[in-house]
């Protein structure tokens, strides 16, 4: 514990940096996945193309992706943009399919009722279909977030910051405690953020709880 206690400010800084690298891509990926998932859900062709392209992108190993992006985007090798773009693409690839599946699982009778009540397509999408797909989409967001938190560490091998630095630094200087502490902080971070997302999901879908309670009393 001596190393950890002596380096708390460093761990705090790396954790903050790590959160920025891990969470901004999840937000960007989700924002892009909603319109693309909506498109994919509309036609069979769109669905086939989107799911195949997403599968292909998801196949690319992260370290290779981090290194290839400067060649594609024209950025510097250590520009944080690379890591953020790469992880956004992974999140998007994962979530576009989830969003399409979630939207197709909304009961048609609900959508039709909304249309009959006078909802125009855009408002119906935002006020009816999207909220009803929250539980499925959120499950995907949780997977994407946890993966993202874990993947940021890979960037440390080519010099990016974040908690992965505790692994490379611990390796180079032979401090096993630093490596173990790094693993523990990453795991705890993933667990805490996952718990927060779960709580957020409960808070924004109150109808689920009510339906569950009603089911019990019946």
Partner 1 sequence: MNYLSYLLDAAHWSGSQGIPQRLVEHLGYTALTMIIALVVGVPLGAWIGHTGRGGFLAVGLANGLRALPTLGLLILLVTLIGLGITGPLIALVILAVPPILAGTYAGVRNVDTAIVDAARGMGMRGREILFQVELPNALPLIIGGVRSSVLQVISTATIAAYVALGGLGRFIIDGLAIRDFPQMVAGSILVAALAIVADLLLAGLQKLLVSPGLQVAPAAGRRRLRAVPDPRPAAQAA
Chain residues in the site for partner 1 (CB under 8 A): 56, 59-65, 67-68, 70-71, 77, 108-109, 112, 143, 146-147, 149-150, 153-154, 156-159, 163-164, 166-168, 170-171, 174, 176, 179-180, 182-183, 186-187, 190-191, 194
Q: Considering the complex, state which of residue 88 and residue 153 has its C-beta at the smaller distance from partner 1.
A: 153
Q: Considering the complex, state which of residue 94 and residue 99 has its C-beta at the smaller distance from partner 1.
A: 94
Q: Which residue has the tokens 């790590």?
A: 18
Shortest distance in whole angstroms from residue 163 CB to partner 1? 8
Q: Considering the complex, state which of residue 13 and residue 115 has its C-beta at the smaller distance from partner 1.
A: 115
Q: What is the CA radius of gyration of the chain?
A: 21
Alpha helix positions (H), 108-155: 108-116, 121-124, 130-132, 134-151
Shortest distance in whole angstroms from residue 146 CB to partner 1? 5
Percent composition of the chain: helix, strand, coil (DSSP 3-state, to 5)? 85, 0, 15
Shortest distance in whole angstroms from residue 176 CB to partner 1? 5
Q: Which of 124, 88, 119, 122 minimizes the C-alpha distance to 106? A: 124
Q: Which of 56, 85, 90 minimizes the C-alpha distance to 69? A: 85
Q: Considering the complex, state which of residue 44 and residue 216 has its C-beta at the smaller distance from partner 1.
A: 44
Shortest distance in whole angstroms from residue 63 CB to partner 1? 5
Count CB neighbours of 41 within 10 A: 22
């Amino acid at each position: 514990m001596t190393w950890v206690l002596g380096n708390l400010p460093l761990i705090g800084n790396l954790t903050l940096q790590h959160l920025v690298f891990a969470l901004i891509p999840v937000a960007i990926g989700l924002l892009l996945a909603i319109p693309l998932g909506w498109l994919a859900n509309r036609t069979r062709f769109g669905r086939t193309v989107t799911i195949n392209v997403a599968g292909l992108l998801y196949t690319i190993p992260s370290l290779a992706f981090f290194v290839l992006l400067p060649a594609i985007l024209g950025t510097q090798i250590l520009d944080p943009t690379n890591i953020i773009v790469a992880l956004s693409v992974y999140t998007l690839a994962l979530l576009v399919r989830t969003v399409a599946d979630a939207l197709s699982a909304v009961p048609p009778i609900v959508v039709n009722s909304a249309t009959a009540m006078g909802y125009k397509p855009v408002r119906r999408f935002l006020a009816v279909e999207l909220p009803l797909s929250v539980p499925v989409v959120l499950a995907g967001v949780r997977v994407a977030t946890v993966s993202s938190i874990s993947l940021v560490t890979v960037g440390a091998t080519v010099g990016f910051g974040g908690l992965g630095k505790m692994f490379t630094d611990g390796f180079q200087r032979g401090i096993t405690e630093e490596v173990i502490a790094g693993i523990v902080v990453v795991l705890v971070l993933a667990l805490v953020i996952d718990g927060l997302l779960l709580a957020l999901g409960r808070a924004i879908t109150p109808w689920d709880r009510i339906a569950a309670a009603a089911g019990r009393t019946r």
